[in-house]
Structure 1
Amino acid sequence: MEKEEKIVVILMCMALLSLAIAYVTFFSGESEGDVMSFSSSSLPGDIVQFEGEVFSKHFTYTGGHLLLDVDYGPGVVSVFIPSNNGADDVDSRLVEGDLVSVRGSVQEYGGELEVVVMAGEDVVVLS
């Protein structure tokens, strides 16, 4: 291999390494800085977190999904926990009246905003 070919190979490796670092830095998923407090101005797709008291809980008629109504002060937030995202686990850990911290994605269902929990660990019982 001649000197020029070695330089080209080294430059290509450096370019690929730079692209890999840029990808990991900018597209590695959500960070804690992306989490906002839930409010009436939250939009579908926002990642939010809030604390409140469990007002009610029940499973859907089909699918085994858990629905929570959480009173967080300014209002009641509907929280949807899919069956494959820990609905049974969350149900076993909390009762009505518990103070919880909830983290999830804002979605719109039936014209109303709700928070969809992506993992059972995103619902933490505080009391």
Structure 2
Amino acid sequence: MWFAEADHQALDKEFMAKALAPANDDLSSKPQGKLTNTASPVPGQVAGNIQKMRDFLQDVRGEMRKVVTPSRAEVQSTTIVVLVTVFAFAGYFYLVDSILGRGIQAVLHWMGASQ
């Protein structure tokens, strides 16, 4: 689902982290050693999260309905293409490895190194 620019801006404002700056630069006036629990959920926020979860699951269900299972012929043809490609690359790498290996052995033999 594509959103309009205004929707993107609204989502950015909702989900982007906001920079928190101290009201003044004097940190000594703040109480030290006290921990406050600011993570407690607000009832409206919980209800909003539940609605978002429902919307998400409805979107997932809608997308899953669009999924089409490939036919047997499609699976067979793509499997054959994959196998042929794998064997072609295996043969290519074997050939290149053999040529390079023999070339390195020839250079080492020419330099007087033993096998």
TM-score (norm 2): 0.30
Q: Relative to total residues, which structure has the larger helix share, 1 or 2?
A: 2
Higher alpha-carbon Rg: 2
TM-score, normalisation: structure 1: 0.28
